[in-house]
C-alpha cells in the first residue's frame, strides 16, 4: 500500500511538472535553401512554396553531407531539414541538416493521373501504383516546388516514398528529364 501511494504521488508530481512547463513553439521544417546571409546568421528556406527567414541560434549546429559545417557551406538549392523555435514571431534554427538523398524507397515512372485530394497514380514497369502525398511531402517541378496539380499525365517522375499500413506515401516527387 505504501509503495502504491509513493507511485501515485510520484506520478502526480510528474504531471504537475509537465503541465506547468511552457511548451516550445516551433518544430521541424523541410524545404530548399533559397539564399544565405552569413554576416547576419540568416537563411531563407522555401517551404510549401513560401519563403521563410530563419536566424541561427548562438549554439546552432549545421551538417552538410554528413559533416559539421558552417552557414557559408549551405548552397542555394540544398534540400534541408531545420529544427527551430519561434520567438516573438521570429524563426530561430538550432539544427540544420541536409535532407537525406532518399526518404525511404525510390520508384521511377510516368504520371498517370492525379486523384482527389493528395493522391496520384504512377505507372512503373507496366504496373499502376497509387500514392498518397505525405503531409509534408514535396512536389518539385523543374526548379520550383509545386503541387500535384502541376503534374501532367505522362510526365516522368522519381518518387521517394515509404510503405505504411499497406499504403504508399510519397515524401518527395520530382520531375525528371525524358
Give the span between the Cα atoms of 71 and 28, in whole angstroms.
18
Average of pLDDT values for 49-71?
Answer: 91
Q: Report if residue 19 sits inside a domain.
A: no
For residue 145, give the nearest of 136, 156, 132 by alpha carbon: 136
Are 91 and 124 found together in one domain?
no
Cα separation, 44 vs 153, whole angstroms:
33
Structural domain harbouring 32: 26-98
Give the count of beta carbons closer than 10 Å to the beta carbon of residue 26: 16
Check which CATH number belongs to the domain holding 44 and give it: 2.40.50.320
Q: 139 lies in a domain?
A: yes
Classify residue 49: in a domain, yes or no: yes
Q: Are 69 and 119 part of one and the same domain?
A: no
Q: What single string gives the DSSP state of each residue in 67-98?
A: EEE-GGG--TT-EEEEEEEEETTEEEEEEEEE
Q: What average pLDDT does this structure show over 19-39?
A: 72
> Residue 4's pLDDT is what?
34
| CATH code (residue 162) | 2.40.50.140
Distance (Å, rounded) from C-alpha 30 to C-alpha 28? 7
Q: What is the pTM of this model?
A: 0.51
Q: Please, which pLDDT band fits residue 141 given cuts at 50, 70 and 90?
A: confident
Q: Give the residue from 68, 98, 128 where a domain finishes.
A: 98
| Count of domains for the chain | 2
48 against 10, higher pLDDT: 48
Amino acid at each position: 500500500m505504501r509503495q502504491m501511494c509513493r507511485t501515485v504521488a510520484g506520478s502526480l508530481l510528474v504531471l504537475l511538472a509537465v503541465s506547468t512547463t511552457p511548451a516550445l513553439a516551433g518544430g521541424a521544417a523541410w524545404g530548399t535553401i533559397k539564399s544565405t546571409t552569413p554576416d547576419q546568421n540568416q537563411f531563407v528556406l522555401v517551404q510549401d512554396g513560401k519563403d521563410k527567414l530563419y536566424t541561427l541560434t548562438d549554439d546552432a549546429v549545421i551538417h552538410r553531407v554528413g559533416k559539421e559545417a558552417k552557414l557559408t557551406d549551405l548552397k542555394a538549392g540544398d534540400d534541408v531539414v531545420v529544427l527551430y523555435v519561434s520567438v516573438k514571431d521570429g524563426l530561430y534554427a538550432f539544427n540544420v541538416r541536409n535532407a537525406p538523398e532518399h526518404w525511404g524507397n525510390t520508384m521511377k515512372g510516368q504520371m498517370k493521373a492525379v486523384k482527389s485530394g493528395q493522391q496520384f497514380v504512377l505507372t512503373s514497369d507496366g504496373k499502376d501504383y497509387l500514392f498518397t502525398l505525405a503531409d509534408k511531402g514535396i512536389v518539385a517541378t523543374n526548379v520550383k516546388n509545386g503541387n500535384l496539380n502541376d503534374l501532367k499525365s505522362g510526365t516522368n517522375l522519381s518518387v521517394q516514398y515509404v510503405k505504411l499500413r499497406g499504403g504508399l506515401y510519397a515524401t518527395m516527387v520530382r520531375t525528371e528529364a525524358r
